[in-house]
Amino acid sequence: MPEGPEIRRAADRIERAVAGRPTTRIEFAFPHLARFQRRLTGDVVASVETRGKAMLTHFAGGLSVYTHNLLYGRWYVMQAGRLPKTRRSLRFAIHNEAHSALLYSASEIDVLPTSAVDEHPFLAKLGPDALAPGLTDGALSRHLAAPRFARRPLHTLLLDQAFVAGIGNYLRSEILFVAGIHPHERPGELTGRRRLRLARAIRRVTHRSYRTGGITNDERRAAKLKAQGVRRRDYRHHVFERGGKPCFGCGAKIRRETAGGRKLFVCPGCQPAPVR
């Protein structure tokens, strides 16, 4: 499933292609949304917003289209009149005279008044967006200190979109590594300084992934390894998908674990297990 940085980068591409221009045609694959096609055709796309892994395409006429890629959804931006070579099913399309923004394979699509987007069942439950421009380390640290999160292990909590929106499996491992925190620790066990370190890691790792197109490793290290001919998958992350390989920092062998049925990667040297 694409995570917050990937969805935001897709939104950037879509916004460049369709924002500020009147649509020439709108398509919905689902019959219950077909009634909005005529209403949105000719309307202007005002902006494309992301909230965690969800996307909102806002139209100037007062409607917004909510989409969530889930596991299989994928956006394509094409020149007008062209379609991608794919066996996926088209679910939602925005066409204008120059470009088309096409969403394939997604099943979570809704149309609602822009004034009511905060009431959408998924959006209403979201925690702060790790990529939100106004979010600060201090504000996020205070959010992490909420009593309702205190006793939940971080390996579970970081995937809960009500905790922080936009984090998925690779970001979970990378954030905990950068923060120097073991996945089985709980927010209630962290000192204020370590909680702030976690908040800072959440923001910085997520922003780095967005900025670099998915690289969460130290950027200078990644650039050096790339120049040496190292494959992208081997320099992209600190620990994720690097089970059995040495940590770039301390040299310890990275462990692959399973938490909640999903793979998790930990450096035993940089992320010592908690003593209880």
Whether 171 contacts 155, CB under 8 Å: no
Q: What is the DSSP string of 166-201?
A: T--HHHHHHHHHHHT--TT--GGGS-HHHHHHHHHH
Q: Report helix, strand or coil for 33.
A: helix
CB atoms under 10 Å from CB of 70, counted, come to: 13
Q: Which of 2, 5, 128, 187 is catalytic?
A: 2
Q: Which tokens sit at 247?
A: 């940590």
In angstroms, the CA 183 to CA 250 distance is 18
Does 53 qualify as catalytic in the annotation? Answer: yes
Q: Are 158 and 130 in contact (CB under 8 A)?
A: no
Take residue 252 and report the two structure tokens written for it. Answer: 């310890």
Q: Which of 42, 40, 197 is nearest to 112 (CA)?
A: 40
- Exactly one of 3, 15, 27, 174 is catalytic; name it: 3
CB contact at 8 A, 188 and 152: no
Token pair listed for 61: 């006429």
Q: Is 84 considered catalytic here?
A: no
Active-site annotation holder among 82, 119, 262, 272: 262
233: annotated active-site residue: no
DSSP assignment letter at 17: H
- Name the active-site residue from 8, 9, 51, 53: 53
Catalytic residues: 2-3, 53, 262
